Amino acid sequence: MPELAEALVIVDMQKAFQYSYDFNGLVHRINDRIFSYRQANLPIIYIQHNDQYIVRGSELWQLSGKLDKQKEDTVIEKFHPNAFYQTNLNKVLMENHIRTIEMCGAQTEYCCNASVVMAHGLGYKVLMEHDMTTTFDNDYMIVEDTILFFENVWNKRFVTIQ
């Protein structure tokens, strides 16, 4: 069983990304992690992106209804790929004495990458399970290669891949 961090941070698992690679499979895997964190009475934090394409209040902005989100979970809205930039995420983590976080979500090369690197830069120990982010094919790599590429860049530099 993978190690639990002090909090689970779920990045941008919104309807805007529902057609990304293995989205439903990722939701299932995230729900498994949510179950483990709830069993251990550890906090679950959702990051919710908002910009000119994913407009607050729109259908695409909504978190996936398939996630096991509960009212006691924290939701932090962001306007930039970096979940820490001009948000209260760092404050929430610091106020709760959280120094180790597990991250997962969408999109691998954008919001997940920016947030993972920043978390590391702020001194957090970051955990991640293999295959816990999603994205779309791009002009340079197919989706599977993008995910594997970033996991290899992150592992033992910015995160511990479990």
One pLDDT digit (tens) per residue for the chain, 162 residues: 789 999 999 999 999 999 999 999 999 999 999 999 999 999 999 999 999 999 999 999 999 999 999 999 999 999 999 999 999 999 999 999 999 999 999 999 999 999 999 999 999 999 999 999 999 999 999 999 999 999 999 999 999 999
Annotated domain spans of the chain: 7-161
CA 111 – CA 89 distance, rounded (Å): 14
User: Where does residue 57 fall: left (phi above 0), alpha (psi -120 to 50 degrees), or beta otherwise?
Assistant: left
Q: What is the pTM of this model?
A: 0.97
* Per-residue pLDDT, 103: 99
* Per-residue pLDDT, 2: 84
CA 49 – CA 126 distance, rounded (Å): 21
CA 95 – CA 76 distance, rounded (Å): 15
CA 64 – CA 84 distance, rounded (Å): 22
CATH of 7-161, one of 3.40.50.850, 3.90.1150.150, 3.40.50.1010, 3.40.50.10090: 3.40.50.850
Q: How far is CA 147 from the centre of its chain?
A: 13
